[in-house]
C-alpha cells in the first residue's frame, strides 16, 4: 500500500462528533455480528443464520452469513477503535444496503413489522462516518499525525 493511499484512508479531522457516532454504532454492530458469527446474545451462529439466509433466497447461506457477520463484527470493531474507519464504514454501509433491499424493504419502514428503519439508520450513520473519518480519539488520527 502506498503512503499516499494510507494517508487518504486515515485522513480525518479533530472532531469529537465522529467518536460520539462511531463508538456506540461500533458496539451495536459488533453485538449483531457476534450473533451471526458466534451465536452470542441469542443469535443463531453461522449455521443457523446461514440456513435462514438460504431460506429467504440469499445463497449460499453459510457464506453470506459469514460475510454479513464479519462485516458487522469486524467493521464494528474497526469503527469502535477508529482503525481504517473510512473503509470499515463503507463496508458496513454496503452491508446495510444489502440488508435493506434483500430482507427489510418489503416489510415497510417500521422495525416492529420487520421493516428497514433500523438498517437505514445504521446505513446513514456509517455513510456519514465514511465521509467524515474517525475524528479525535481514534487510531486513524494517531496514524495521521505520525505520517504528517
Mapped onto helix, strand or coil, the DSSP state of residue 116 is coil
Alpha-carbon distance 119 to 121, whole Å? Answer: 5
* Residue 49 Cα to chain centre, angstroms: 17
What would the pLDDT profile of 45-99 be if each residue is shown by its tens digit? 999 999 999 999 999 999 999 999 999 999 999 999 999 999 999 999 999 999 9
What would the pLDDT profile of 83-97 be if each residue is shown by its tens digit? 999 999 999 999 999
Q: In terms of C-beta density within 10 A (0-12 exposed, 13-18 middle, 19 or more buried), how is residue 88 classed? A: buried
| Cβ partners under 8 Å of residue 120, min gap 6 | 96, 100
Amino acid at each position: 500500500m502506498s503512503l499516499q493511499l494510507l494517508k487518504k484512508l486515515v485522513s480525518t479531522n479533530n472532531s469529537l462528533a465522529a467518536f460520539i457516532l462511531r463508538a456506540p454504532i461500533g458496539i451495536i454492530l459488533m453485538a449483531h455480528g457476534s450473533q451471526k458469527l458466534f451465536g452470542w446474545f441469542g443469535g443463531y451462529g453461522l449455521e443457523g443464520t446461514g440456513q435462514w439466509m438460504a431460506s429467504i433466497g440469499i445463497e449460499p447461506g453459510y457464506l453470506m452469513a459469514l460475510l454479513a457477520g464479519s462485516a458487522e463484527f469486524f467493521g464494528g470493531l474497526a469503527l469502535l477503535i477508529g482503525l481504517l474507519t473510512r473503509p470499515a464504514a463503507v463496508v458496513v454501509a454496503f452491508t446495510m444496503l444489502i440488508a435493506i433491499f434483500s430482507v427489510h424493504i418489503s416489510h415497510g419502514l417500521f422495525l416492529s413489522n420487520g421493516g428497514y428503519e433500523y438498517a437505514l439508520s445504521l446505513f446513514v450513520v456509517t455513510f456519514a462516518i465514511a465521509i467524515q473519518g474517525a475524528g479525535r480519539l481514534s487510531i486513524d488520527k494517531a496514524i495521521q499525525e505520525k505520517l504528517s
